[in-house]
Amino acid sequence: MINLEPIGYLRSEHIEVPKHCSISDLEGELVLAPEYTEGLVNIEPGDKIAVIFNFHKSPPFKSEKLKQRPPHRDSKKGVFSICSPKRPNPLGLSILEVISIEKNVIRVSGIDMLDGTPILDIKPYIAP
């Protein structure tokens, strides 16, 4: 068994968000639990970060979702070749740009997550 506890959540006033961070200019805040504040040292405005999150509003996965037709495609694709929130493990990954940091709150742009989305981890984004 793997147990993951959120380190924080996304705070946003946006009701609708783009399907992928690469086409988003929306801003929001990653609000971490205060005990993780020290872990934000060395993250600077302008940095890109990889945010791993939980698709907390996704329905339980069913095998018929192994192939899905994304809204921007004309045929079904394998779930592991697309970014659908309907996955065996409802994990998402977004590359966001840091706007500012104040204590345990990181203001970011490029969000494709809903308000209240649980944040599981943050990593530096290192472009290939």
Does residue 37 fall inside a structural domain?
A: yes
Q: Is residue 80 part of a domain?
A: no
Question: What is the arithmetic mean of pLDDT over 100-121?
Answer: 94
Q: Look at residue 17 in the predicted model and tell me its pLDDT.
A: 63
Residues 5-56: tens digit of each pLDDT = 999 999 998 777 656 656 667 899 999 999 999 999 999 999 999 999 998 9
Average of per-residue pLDDT values in the chain: 90
Radius of gyration of the chain from its Cα atoms, rounded to whole angstroms: 15
| Share above pLDDT 70 across residues of the chain, in percent, rounded to a whole number | 93
CATH number at residue 112: 2.40.30.70
Rounded distance, CA 63 to CA 69, Å? Answer: 14
Query: Is 119 a member of any domain?
Result: yes
- Is 19 within a domain? yes
For position 57, what pLDDT does the model report? 86
The 8-class DSSP code of residue 45 comes to T
112 occurs within a structural domain: yes
- Residue 70, CA distances (Å) to 79, 85, 95, 116 in order: 10, 11, 20, 24
Tally the domains of the chain. Answer: 1
Q: Which residues pair with 117 in a beta bridge?
A: none
Residue 32 sits in which domain range? 8-52+91-124
